[in-house]
Amino acid sequence: MKPLSQLLSSIPPSATLAVNDKAKALKAAGRDVISLAGGDPDFDTPAHIVQAAFAAIEAGDTHYPPSRGTMAIRKAVADKMAREYGLEVDPASQVLVSPGGKFLIYAVLAALSNPGDEIIIFEPYWVSYVPIARLVGATPVTVTLRAEDGFTITAEDLAAHITPRTKAILVNSPNNPTGRVITRAEAEVIREAAIEHDLYVLSDEMYEKLIFEGEHINLASLPGMAERTVTVNGHSKAYAMTGWRLGWAVGPADIIGLAAKLQSQSVTSAASFTMAAGAAALNGPQDVVEQMRLSYKERRDYMVAALNAIPGVECDPPQGAFYLFVRFPGLSQDSMEIANRLLEEAEIAATPGIAFGQAGEGHVRFSIATAMTDLRRAVERIEKLMASV
Ligand SMILES: Cc1ncc(COP(=O)(O)O)c(C=O)c1O
């Protein structure tokens, strides 16, 4: 047989798969595994959003929608950007709605990249960035951020990685997996580098609504940034809508136009009635988002205090998102070993830090989008495990 795609074959399997597969096998064998490995809110999608989808289906909104998204949802996105950040965007040419934020990261990087263009990615990074950069033919260039410096972005570190081939900087705040929220000073470092070197910025703001300390900075709304920044966001995390597959990108019309071309020639569009629900989410009451944020904050506060009280465990409080990036100096520095021991000896599934790049080594990621009862049980098991080592 002739060889299959070299590009796809060269993308390594996710480092999280091994632990996830093992967790599934243990569960199938009847073991009571607590999963802290996912990134899926444990809340149901709020009722008024679900109702909007039912109403759209009943009204016959079940045909091909416009490829870039219905005008109703694109307008809802533009209104949100104007209301929250004073950013004027044209819903017709500067907004693209897609089946999920992940596809938009792919489509926007595809729109920006020619073969060999370099995309700067801060490490630890969300697991899909590096494979997506490779899939679009770009070269991912990682900038290592250090836990001991609080994963802070500095002008020196960034400058050291910019070359004539650099095309774009990918920023994720609040961050998955570290929970870091970038400061004004860090935003300024990124802005200055982007303007000085004429770079694009892809700002993944998926966890925008889940901030416990600090403020969210929309990079596109900073001076000189609107013409070079694409904001990617979505419904998954803020509205507990992971399964609906809905995300949006806002940016310069030429970039959005190329990303829209990729969408129209591949997945066509997001689903018609999920977009009706998505517009209702953006236009409707936001107290549901605030209630979920407060619940995540309560879990964060509980978990950070409980974990730090266990000898041999260290956990810095994340400022946003819904993950804890935890160290187990009393167990191991090797994140795969920590994850394996948590699974085998405490029946807790966690994501090894190495999945987020070398800079994630020594950590495991716990998701706190998990019911409080399970978090308490997980803490008891970790106490027992650490007492035994
Ligand atoms: C940082 C980050 N960006 C983007 C996404 C993609 O989300 P979705 O495709 O569900 O919109 C995720 C999902 O886990 C994420 O953590």
**Whether residue 13 is found in the same domain as residue 96:** no
Residue 317 in domain: yes
Average pLDDT, the chain: 96
Looking at 254, 283, 312, the residue that finishes a domain is: 283
Ligand 1 pocket residue status of 234, Cβ below 6 Å: yes
How distant is the alpha carbon of residue 382 from its chain centre? 27
Q: How far is the CA of 179 from the centre of ligand 1 (A)?
A: 14
176 lines ligand 1 (CB under 6 A): yes
Count structural domains, the chain: 2
Does 200 lie in the same domain as 166? Answer: yes
Task: Measure 14 CA to ligand 1 centroid, in angstroms.
Answer: 15
Residues 146 and 275 in one domain: yes
Q: Whose CA is nearest to atom 2 of ligand 1?
A: 206
On the 0-12 / 13-18 / 19+ scale of CB atoms within 10 A, 308 is: middle
With cut-offs at 50, 70 and 90, classify the pLDDT of residue 18: confident
Counting residues of the chain whose pLDDT is more than 70, the rounded percentage is 99
- Quick check: CB of 126 below 6 Å from ligand 1? yes
* 218: CATH: 3.40.640.10
How many angstroms does the Cα of residue 38 sit away from the middle of ligand 1?
A: 11
Nearest CA to ligand 1 atom 7: 101
User: The whole model's pTM is what?
Assistant: 0.96
- Is residue 58, in this structure, part of any structural domain at all? no
pLDDT of 223: 97
Any atom of ligand 1 within 6 Å of the Cβ of 98: no
Indicate whether 303 and 275 sit together in one domain: no
Evaluate: CB of 233 within 6 angstroms of ligand 1. no
Residue 21 has pLDDT above 90, yes or no: no
Distance 87 CA to ligand 1 centre (A): 23
Do residue 87 and residue 182 come from a single domain?
yes
* Among 266, 271, 263, CA closest to 245: 271
Task: Decide if pLDDT at 13 tops 90.
Answer: no
Kindly tell me if the per-residue pLDDT of 308 is higher than 80.
Answer: yes
| pLDDT given for residue 145 in this prediction | 97
Mean pLDDT of 201-207: 98
Residues 232 and 303 in one domain: no
Q: Which of 283, 299, 326 is the last residue of a domain?
A: 283
The residue among 219, 251, 283 that closes a domain is 283
Task: Report which ligand 1 atom has the smallest distance to the Cα of 105.
Answer: 4
CB-ligand 1 contact for 347 (6 Å cutoff) = no
Could you tell me if the CB of 100 is within 6 A of ligand 1?
yes
- Predicted pLDDT at 12: 80
| CA of residue 309 to ligand 1 center, whole Å | 31
Q: How far is the CA of 206 from the centre of ligand 1 (A)?
A: 6
- pLDDT on residue 23: 84
- Top mutation candidate among 104, 178, 237 for ligand 1, by most atoms within 8 Å of CB: 237
pLDDT for residue 201 is more than 90: yes
Ligand 1 binding pocket includes 177 (Cβ within 6 Å): no
Do residues 126 and 159 touch, judged by C-beta distance below 8 A? Answer: no
In a domain, 114, yes or no: yes
Q: Are residues 89 and 124 in the same domain?
A: yes
Does residue 172 have its Cβ closer than 6 Å to ligand 1? yes
Partners of 325 in the β-ladder = 365
Domain contains 57: no
**Does ligand 1 come within 6 angstroms of the Cβ of 319?**
no
Question: What is the tens place of the pLDDT at every residue in 224-257?
Answer: 999 999 999 999 999 999 999 999 999 999 999 9
| Ligand 1 pocket, residue 320 CB under 6 Å | no
250: left (phi over 0), alpha (psi -120 to 50) or beta: beta
Same domain for 341 and 264, yes or no, is no
- Three-class HEC string of the chain: CCCCCHHHHHCCCCCHHHHHHHHHHHHHCCCCCEECCCCCCCCCCCHHHHHHHHHHHHCCCCCCCCCCCCHHHHHHHHHHHHHHHCCCCCCCCCEEEECCHHHHHHHHHHHHCCCCCEEEEEECCCCCHHHHHHHCCCEEEEEECCHHHCCCCCHHHHHCCCCCCEEEEEEECCCCCCCCCCCHHHHHHHHHHHHHCCCEEEEECCCCCCECCCCCCCHHHCCCCCCCEEEEEECCCCCCCHHHCCEEEECCHHHHHHHHHHHHCCCCCCCHHHHHHHHHHHHCCCHHHHHHHHHHHHHHHHHHHHHHCCCCCEECCCCECCEEEEECCCCCCCHHHHHHHHHHHHCEECEEHHHHCHHHCCEEEEECCCCHHHHHHHHHHHHHHHHCC
Please give the number of the atom of ligand 1 that sits closest to the Cα of 235. 11
The mean pLDDT of 90-97, rounded to a whole number, is: 98
Q: Report if residue 310 sits inside a domain.
A: yes
Neighbours of 32 (CB within 10 A): 9
Instruction: Write out pLDDT tens, residues 143-157.
Output: 999 999 999 999 999
Query: Does 208 map to a domain?
Result: yes
79 shares a domain with 12: no
Is it the case that residue 19 has pLDDT exceeding 80?
A: no
Tell me what pLDDT residue 15 has: 66
Task: Decide: 206 in ligand 1 pocket, CB within 6 A.
Answer: yes
Instruction: Note down the domain range covering 301.
Output: 6-44+287-384
- The answer to whether residue 135 sits within a structural domain is yes
Closest-lying ligand 1 atom to the alpha carbon of residue 321: 16
Whether residue 174 has a cis bond before it, omega within 30° of 0: yes
% of the chain at pLDDT higher than 90 = 94
| Confidence at residue 39, expressed as pLDDT on a 0 to 100 scale | 87
In this structure, is residue 1 part of a structural domain? Answer: no
Site to substitute for ligand 1 among 206, 244, 368, most atoms within 8 A of C-beta: 206
Exposed e or buried b for every residue in 288-297, given b needs 16+ CB within 10 A?
bbeebbebbb
Residues 102 and 223 in one domain: yes
pLDDT attached to residue 99: 98
CATH number reported for the structural domain that contains residue 32 in this entry: 3.90.1150.10
Distance 298 CA to ligand 1 centre (A): 23
* Claim to verify: residue 40 and residue 178 sit in the same structural domain: no
> Could you tell me if 369 and 315 lie in one domain?
yes
Average pLDDT over residues 8-23: 79
Q: What is the mean pLDDT of residues 49-75?
A: 98
